[in-house]
């Protein structure tokens, strides 16, 4: 048993931290205020190779493991939660499905530009009427010769408008629910792909979220990921990894809130009530971090990690929400003023309890494993 | 990183698990009801080398690793928290010797503890000094080659059955915590008196004694470290023992959850197992998640002990705090899952809930853990 990071992971963390605490942090407040895409941060991530973390070197990536991925997102989120989720979605649900389920040609075509950051990835599963119940999705893909024709509307799509490639889930057959779902690689510039409404949100203002409208979009059969009917399996596997990334994002927000509350207390003096709150915050983060790293470690070793990823996502995001609120409470009035990191962390943290499977869905996943395992 | 136990640790765990299943679990309810110390289980642990886990081979033991100690405590506590203290307090009472003893003292004092021939105990608290341990009044006066000890020690786990008692006492009462020294009392040569045994909410099979020292003589060669080093030793020991209390809390919670999980799968209401209700399922998911989070923190702290890591104090406090608060919550929820049956003594979860409470209190209350953690954060 060794619960410390290996030297290569520690070194990687230090490198990402330098970037995050530099250019990423420098724009975080303004990105939030202006509701704008963090171009500088994403550009820096691209130049440092952080957009190809999980992609093997033969396809132009860094070939690192799930633990490095979690660490990367954690460090980015400590500076800017918007930047973190952009990189997270691109890396896990936007790119990894191709890595895991793509054929050789698909990997050669799509992985190099994704790993280089020339294309930003995105994941289009949710629809207006199917959120937690993803298998009820209605978007259709009809086979027509060598093409599929896609029609439908996807919603709550992270990286909307910025992505160059969407992994889209659509119904190909008469099979109801999960069995009829297939995954497709849909380039943003394909005819009939349109960005619908882009939402104003409580937090994560730098990360665009909105509707993806598909009107008679033709994609070649070569863009079908996996077999017909395999789409739901692909989506669930992608989300398992995605939850490791979101755990990292949650840890970064929580750590930033803890550190800022601690700094404030050191500056202005402190009493036992706040001391105890700070101790609880730090303890929760420490335990949540180990859950995340454990899930990542299992994933890296090719072991089952679905339950651990759900536990991690649940615990890390609930921790981030609570810690962000507690940090704001310690800061008091000044924490509630717009533009302070304290109130931004609270707004950013809330999304994490909802997306990539709401925390209710995580509890369903965990309970199912407990009761059938 | 590596989250797995070594093959050797797994083998030790499996041995303990089997012994606990066969010999401890069937006795747990009766131990709780009678409130009597299970001497037979102490012998069982001694005979099977379990009491040798806290000691390196050089001193007659089999491990000395905190990870292995925690693993053993966790396994035993799943069935019987009182019995888990037989290992936990053997470690607690021996740590002062292992941490601060001279080579000669370790060689002389450890082997009978490692073999289980003797049981160890640790006497720090007094009636008037609990969290404020430095305010202790017990005196040790140097007389020739000996010290003469006078005072009263409170809440001493195994104080009544121990053969070896580590006592902290003032050798220089004017010097506050810098005047405290540590002594190893051996019952044959330095007998102490047990004034009373406490009646308690939980861990009823583990005797908690008030120990009175009246002109108890101890050889100077049984002083651990220098005069005045006692308080440092006491704190260093607590850093090492707190992960074990976390492990005990973890085991209690796991034992309760294991029982409750089976129960909700079988208990039928409204024509279906209550496990089919989402409200119950969400409780199960939260319990399992909290247990898992605690487990990682406990073993992280244990690896910090083994590595003598500089941030041990903080992480050990976190593990003890988080796991014990978790155990209280989880055992309370498990009683809830069993409903009325959870509240009666025919089912084990009410005992486990009572046993969990002490883990929030001893070896530093959870308030003290927060003080320790906050101090290290705000330094």
Structural tokens at position B277 = 């209700």
Give B93-147 pLDDT, tens digit per residue.
999 999 999 999 999 999 999 999 999 999 999 999 999 999 999 999 999 999 9
State the pLDDT confidence band at A104, using cuts at 50, 70 and 90. Answer: very high
CA distance, residue B296 to nearest chain A CA (Å):
6
Residues of B with CB below 8 A from A70's CB?
Answer: none
Cα gap A148→A150, rounded to integer Å: 6
User: How many Cβ atoms from other residues are within 10 Å of residue B187's Cβ?
Assistant: 14
Say how many CB pairs under 8 Å bridge A and B. 127
Please name the member of A279, A308, A360 whose beta carbon is closest to the beta carbon of B370.
Answer: A279
State the pLDDT confidence band at B362, using cuts at 50, 70 and 90. Answer: very high
Give A293-316 pLDDT, tens digit per residue.
999 999 999 999 999 999 999 999
A271 touches chain B (CB under 8 A): no
Residues of A with CB below 8 A from B369's CB?
Answer: 279
Percent of chain B residues past pLDDT 70, beyond the cut: 100
Residue A282's pLDDT is what? 98
With an 8 Å Cβ cutoff, are A366 and B288 in contact?
yes
Please name the member of B5, B373, B377 whose beta carbon is closest to the beta carbon of A1.
Answer: B5
Structural tokens at position B139 = 């005196």
Give B5-32 pLDDT, tens digit per residue.
999 999 999 999 999 999 999 999 999 9
Residue B363 appears among annotated catalytic residues: yes
Dihedral-angle region of residue B298 (phi above 0 means left; psi in -120 to 50 means alpha; beta otherwise): alpha
ipTM of this predicted structure: 0.93
Give B279-321 pLDDT, tens digit per residue.
999 999 999 999 999 999 999 999 999 999 999 999 999 999 9
Give the residue-averaged pLDDT of B194-212.
97
Give the residue-averaged pLDDT of B52-64.
97
Residue A334's pLDDT is what? 86
Please choose, from the candidates B101, B6, B94, B111, the residue with its C-alpha nearest in 3D space to the C-alpha of residue B54.
B94
With an 8 Å Cβ cutoff, are A364 and B322 in contact?
no
Cα gap B81→B99, rounded to integer Å: 26
Residue B317's pLDDT is what? 98
Torsion sign across C-alpha atoms B325, B360, B298, B88: negative
Residues of A with CB below 8 A from B282's CB?
Answer: 360, 363, 367
Which strand (E) or helix (H) includes residue B186? strand B180-186
With an 8 Å Cβ cutoff, are A279 and B321 in contact?
yes
With an 8 Å Cβ cutoff, are B373 and A360 in contact?
no
Torsion sign across C-alpha atoms A170, A176, A178, A180: negative
State the pLDDT confidence band at A173, using cuts at 50, 70 and 90. Answer: confident
Give A119-136 pLDDT, tens digit per residue.
999 999 999 999 999 999
Give the residue-averaged pLDDT of B345-368.
97
Give the residue-averaged pLDDT of B344-362.
97
Give the residue-averaged pLDDT of B37-66.
97
Please choose, from the candidates A4, A31, A39, the residue with its C-alpha nearest in 3D space to the C-alpha of residue A161.
A39
A270 touches chain B (CB under 8 A): yes
DSSP state of B2: B
Residue A338's pLDDT is what? 86
Residue A175's pLDDT is what? 81
Residue B18's pLDDT is what? 98
State the pLDDT confidence band at B217, using cuts at 50, 70 and 90. Answer: very high
Please choose, from the candidates B369, B351, B356, B293, the residue with its C-alpha nearest in 3D space to the C-alpha of residue B330.
B356
Residues of A with CB below 8 A from B286's CB?
Answer: 363
| pLDDT for residue A373 is more than 80 | no
Cα gap A203→A247, rounded to integer Å: 17
Residues of B with CB below 8 A from A287's CB?
Answer: 293-294, 296-297, 318, 322
Catalytic residue among A4, A211, A356, A369: A356
Give the residue-averaged pLDDT of A67-73.
98
Q: Show Cβ contacts of residue A115 under 8 Å, excluding neighbours closer than 6 positions.
A: A51, A52, A55, A59, A60, A61, A62, A95
CB B205 within 8 A of CB B38: yes
Residues of B with CB below 8 A from A298's CB?
Answer: 3
Mean pLDDT of chain B: 97
CA distance, residue A364 to nearest chain B CA (Å):
7
With an 8 Å Cβ cutoff, are A287 and B374 in contact?
no
A367 touches chain B (CB under 8 A): yes
CB A262 within 8 A of CB A85: no
Mean pLDDT of chain A: 97
Structural tokens at position A372 = 């059938």
CB A155 within 8 A of CB A126: yes
Q: Furthest-apart CA pair in chain A: how many Å?
A: 72
CA distance, residue B34 to nearest chain A CA (Å):
35
Give the mutation candidate from A267, A273, A283, A359 for the B interface (greatest B CB count, under 10 A): A283
Cα gap A350→A253, rounded to integer Å: 11
Residue A339's pLDDT is what? 86
Percent of chain A residues past pLDDT 70, beyond the cut: 100
Give the residue-averaged pLDDT of A214-243.
97
CA distance, residue B174 to nearest chain A CA (Å):
28
Q: Show Cβ contacts of residue B93 under 8 Å, excluding neighbours closer than 6 positions.
A: B113, B119, B120, B121, B122, B158, B162, B164, B165, B166
Residue B351's pLDDT is what? 98
């Amino acid at each position: 048993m060794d619960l410390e990071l290996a030297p290569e992971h520690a070194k990687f963390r230090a490198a990402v931290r330098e970037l995050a605490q530099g250019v990423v942090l420098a724009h975080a407040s303004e990105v939030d205020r202006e509701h704008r895409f963090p171009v500088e941060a994403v550009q820096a991530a691209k130049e440092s190779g952080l957009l190809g973390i999980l992609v093997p070197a033969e396809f132009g990536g860094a070939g690192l493991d799930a633990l490095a991925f979690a660490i990367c997102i954690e460090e980015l989120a400590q500076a800017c939660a918007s930047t973190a989720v952009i990189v997270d979605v691109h890396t896990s649900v936007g790119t990894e499905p191709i890595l895991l389920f793509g054929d050789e040609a698909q990997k050669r075509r799509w992985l190099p530009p994704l790993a280089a950051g020339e294309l930003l990835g995105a994941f289009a599963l949710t629809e207006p009427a199917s959120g937690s119940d993803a298998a009820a999705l209605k978007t259709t893909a009809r086979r027509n010769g060598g093409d599929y024709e896609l029609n439908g509307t996807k919603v709550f799509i992270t990286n909307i408008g910025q992505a160059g490639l969407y992994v889209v889930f659509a119904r190909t057959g008469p099979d109801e629910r999960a069995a009829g779902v297939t995954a497709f690689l849909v380039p943003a510039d394909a005819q009939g792909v349109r960005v619908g409404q882009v939402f104003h949100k409580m937090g994560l203002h730098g990360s665009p979220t909105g509707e993806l409208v598909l009107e008679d979009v033709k994609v070649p059969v070569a863009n079908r990921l996996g077999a017909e009917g395999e789409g739901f399996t692909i989506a669930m596997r992608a989300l398992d990894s995605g939850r490791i990334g979101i755990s990292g994002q949650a840890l970064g927000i929580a750590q930033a809130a803890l550190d800022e509350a601690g700094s404030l207390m050191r500056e202005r003096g402190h009493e036992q009530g706040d001391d105890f709150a700070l101790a609880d915050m730090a303890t929760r983060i420490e335990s949540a971090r180990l859950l995340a790293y454990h899930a990542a470690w299992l994933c890296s070793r090719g072991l089952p990690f679905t339950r651990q990823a759900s536990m991690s996502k649940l615990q890390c995001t609930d921790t981030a929400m609570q810690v962000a609120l507690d940090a704001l409470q310690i800061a008091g009035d000044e924490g509630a003023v717009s533009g302070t990191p304290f109130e931004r962390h609270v707004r950013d943290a809330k999304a994490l309890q909802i997306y990539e499977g709401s925390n209710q869905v995580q509890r369903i996943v965990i309970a199912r494993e407990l009761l059938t395992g | 990183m590596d989250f797995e136990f070594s093959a050797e640790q797994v083998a030790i765990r499996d041995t303990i698990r089997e012994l606990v299943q066969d010999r401890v679990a069937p006795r747990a309810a009766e131990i709780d009801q009678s409130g009597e110390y299970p001497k037979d289980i102490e012998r069982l642990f001694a005979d099977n080398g379990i009491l040798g886990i806290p000691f390196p081979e050089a001193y007659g033991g089999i491990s000395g690793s905190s990870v292995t100690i925690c693993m053993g405590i966790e396994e035993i506590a799943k069935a019987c928290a009182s019995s888990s203290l037989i290992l936990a307090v053997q470690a607690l009472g021996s740590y002062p010797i292992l941490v601060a003893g001279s080579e000669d003292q370790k060689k002389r004092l450890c082997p009978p503890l490692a073999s289980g021939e003797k049981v160890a105990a640790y006497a720090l608290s007094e009636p008037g000094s609990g969290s404020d341990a430095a305010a202790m009044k017990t005196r040790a006066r140097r007389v020739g080659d000996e010290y003469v000890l006078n005072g009263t020690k409170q809440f001493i786990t195994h104080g009544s059955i121990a053969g070896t008692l580590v006592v902290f006492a003032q050798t220089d009462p004017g010097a506050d915590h810098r005047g405290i020294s540590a002594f190893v009392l051996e019952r044959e040569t330095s007998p102490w008196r047990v004034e009373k045994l406490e009646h308690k909410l939980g861990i009823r099979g583990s005797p908690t004694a008030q120990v009175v020292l009246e002109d108890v003589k101890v050889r100077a060669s049984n002083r651990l470290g220098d005069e005045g080093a006692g308080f440092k030793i006491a704190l260093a020991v607590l850093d090492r023992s707190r992960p074990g209390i976390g492990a005990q809390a973890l085991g209690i919670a796991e034992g309760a959850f294991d029982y409750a999980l089976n129960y909700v799968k079988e208990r039928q209401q409204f024509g279906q197992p209550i496990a089919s209700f989402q409200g119950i399922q969400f409780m199960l998911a939260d319990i399992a998640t909290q247990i898992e989070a605690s487990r990682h923190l406990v073993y992280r702290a244990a690896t910090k002990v083994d590595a003598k890591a500089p941030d041990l104090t903080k992480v050990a406090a976190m593990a003890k705090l988080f796991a014990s608060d978790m155990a209280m919550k989880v055992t309370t929820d498990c009683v809830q899952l069993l409903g009325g049956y959870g509240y009666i003594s025919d089912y084990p979860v009410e005992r486990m809930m009572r046993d969990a409470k002490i883990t929030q209190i001893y070896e530093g209350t959870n308030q003290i853990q927060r003080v320790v953690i906050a101090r290290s954060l705000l330094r």
